[in-house]
């Protein structure tokens, strides 16, 4: 039996009241008068890595995390209880919960950050601070300053930790352009096996005829048919009404598989309020763009299809998309916080936040190293509390992380993240797919999806096959979540995870002899079984 995420991530029974912070401005001495007690406080709060960075640079960017953090799970629980008591619709309940979570985060940040910002503003004028930015999704600030300013910040009672603004790498993808022929041959063999699968006779004759037609190369890619998405489309469910996002390298919005699905276009194909459907946290581009290709490829697997039906590359071709560029091709923690925050409440030209325009699903085909690293955990918690499904790729082997037990990357290894590993056309675990368990003792990844020799959209308005990586697997799960939300819009994030896990096809091999396991999780996602389970 699957251990429900409702149990694993049980919401706190009591709501922690937000404490009011003192607004008394601290008194600062110069660096030469730092007391022994002050030096001890600085040492306890400041990462040793930052001290090393200051030895080579006068100004360094770092993150200041404050002590007062919102328990978003508890806030969401109480908001759901109120919505239930008010007997409002499921859609209205979700929006009410999301708005309550966002407002709670903003209020806490504004109150507790005030004395910190007062000091930073003064130091901007004095030349001690080059720039700073406030965040509410995690009650924190990104600051670029001198060492003296950092030391003074560390003495503030509001400050919990001061951490380096780490550089994060985009998950490496291997591209084998010669692999597509082998995939097509294996797909033909697998299709013959699939038609022999026993189903209820009355349903089988109808669904199998659709499936056979959909599996032809002119209709759907092998990976899309492998998870039985075309059979779900035959039921009239293709993700319509659902919004999928990604945090990635951007998206080429003019691509024929993606253009008409971008939320920033109206029914006439005109760009309307693009800032509410696209955010470039790296370069500030006003319209979606992607010089790398990674984000265009992953978004194509989630929602892509061209208008004439010759390239069915996406799991949920009826869904719409929005996107955030956070990689170019590398990034930093502050940029990822910025992008994650925008998804929670897109911002218009006047600076107004719009939680009602947050996506339903966010695909994260990126990750860091193995082991416990909770720097992004408050973000994933906030997304979940706001009912945004947080899919993360399990990660790929690298020189620094060669794989094996416990290698699954963070943030995918967090309890709040839903991780996807990669399989090939024969349902075998990809050699590069990282394994569990998580640092928290959980099965990871939770699920697997095709991630070897994947064909999807790439910049230039074209398509390219042979892409390998858990980055390619994750968007399948994100697309399946979109299908499920069209089938039953009231599904919560916890329920989505349970449905996807419970309906997966269990996978085992000589290393993983029982299911679930820390290679395949609960198995290969099955869109048809998942959607049928909520329709029934």
Residues belonging to the active site: 248, 294, 471
- Residue 97 to residues 51, 87, 106, 383, 453, Cα–Cα distance (Å): 41, 14, 14, 11, 40
Q: Which of helix, strand or coil describes residue 439?
A: coil
Give Cβ neighbours of residue 403 (< 8 Å, ≥ 6 apart).
Answer: 397, 431, 432, 433, 434, 435
What proportions of the chain, in percent to the nearest 5, are helix, strand and coil?
A: 35, 20, 45
Residue found under tokens 């394994």:
435
- Round to whole Å and give the CA distance between 64 and 164: 9
Residues in the chain: 536
The H-or-E segment that residue 163 falls in is strand 159-164
Phi, psi of 382 (to 5 degrees): -65, -45
Phi, psi of 61 (to 5 degrees): -95, 135
Residue found under tokens 């200041």:
64
- Round to whole Å and give the CA distance between 197 and 199: 6
- Round to whole Å and give the CA distance between 220 and 412: 29
In terms of Cβ atoms closer than 10 Å to its own Cβ (0-12, 13-18, 19+), residue 200 is exposed
- Round to whole Å and give the CA distance between 342 and 348: 10
Beta-strand runs (E) in 406-469:
418-423, 447-450, 454-458, 462-468
Residue 69 tokens read as 């953090």
Q: Which of helix, strand or coil describes residue 305?
A: coil
């Amino acid at each position: 039996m699957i251990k429900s995420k409702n149990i694993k991530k049980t919401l706190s029974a009591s709501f922690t009241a937000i404490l009011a912070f003192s607004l008394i401005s601290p008194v600062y001495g110069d660096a030469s008068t730092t007391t022994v007690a002050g030096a001890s406080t600085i040492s306890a709060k400041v990462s040793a890595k930052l001290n090393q960075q200051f030895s080579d640079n006068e100004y360094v960017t770092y993150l200041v995390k404050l002590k007062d953090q919102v328990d978003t799970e508890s806030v969401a629980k109480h908001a759901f209880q109120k919505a239930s008591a008010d007997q409002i619709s499921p859609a209205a309940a979700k929006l009410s919960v999301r708005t309550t979570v966002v407002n709670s985060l903003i209020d806490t940040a504004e109150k507790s950050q005030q004395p910190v910002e007062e000091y930073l503003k003064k130091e901007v004028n004095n030349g001690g601070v080059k720039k700073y930015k406030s965040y509410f999704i995690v009650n924190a600030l990104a600051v670029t300053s001198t060492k003296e300013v950092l030391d003074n910040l560390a003495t503030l009672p509001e400050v919990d930790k001061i951490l380096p603004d780490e550089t994060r790498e985009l998950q490496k993808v291997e591209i084998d352009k010669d692999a597509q022929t082998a995939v097509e041959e294996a797909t033909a063999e697998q299709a013959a096996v699939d038609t022999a699968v026993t189903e209820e006779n009355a349903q089988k004759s109808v669904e199998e005829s659709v499936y056979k037609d959909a599996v032809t190369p002119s209709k759907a890619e092998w990976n899309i048919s492998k998870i039985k998405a075309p059979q779900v489309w035959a039921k009239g469910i293709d993700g319509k009404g659902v919004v999928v996002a990604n945090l990635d390298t951007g998206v080429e919005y003019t691509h024929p598989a993606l253009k008409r699905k971008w939320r920033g276009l109206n029914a006439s194909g005109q760009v309307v309020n693009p800032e509410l459907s696209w955010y470039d946290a790296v370069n500030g581009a006003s319209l979606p763009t992607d010089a790398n290709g990674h984000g265009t490829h992953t978004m194509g697997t989630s929602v892509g299809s061209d208008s004439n039906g010759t390239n069915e590359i996406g799991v949920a071709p009826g869904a719409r998309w929005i996107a955030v560029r956070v990689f170019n091709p590398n990034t930093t923690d502050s940029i990822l916080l910025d992008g994650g925050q925008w998804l929670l409440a897109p911002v218009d030209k006047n600076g107004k936040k719009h939680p009602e325009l947050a996506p339903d699903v966010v695909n994260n085909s990126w990750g860091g190293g193995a082991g416990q690293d909770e720097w992004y955990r408050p973000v994933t918690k906030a997304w979940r509390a706001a009912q945004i499904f947080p899919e993360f790729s399990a990660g790929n082997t690298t020189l620094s992380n060669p794989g094996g037990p416990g290698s699954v990357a963070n943030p995918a290894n967090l309890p709040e993240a839903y991780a996807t590993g990669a399989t090939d056309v024969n349902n075998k675990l990809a050699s590069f797919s990282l394994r569990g368990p998580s640092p928290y003792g959980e099965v990871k990844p939770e699920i697997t999806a095709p991630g070897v020799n994947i064909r999807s959209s790439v910049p230039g308005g074209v398509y390219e096959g042979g892409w390998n990586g858990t980055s390619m697997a994750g968007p399948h799960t994100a697309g399946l979540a979109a299908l499920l939300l069209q089938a039953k819009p009231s599904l919560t994030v916890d329920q989505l995870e349970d449905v996807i896990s419970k309906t997966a096809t269990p996978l085992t091999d000589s290393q993983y002899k029982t299911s679930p396991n820390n290679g395949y999780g609960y198995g290969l996602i099955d869109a048809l079984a998942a959607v049928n389970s909520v329709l029934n």
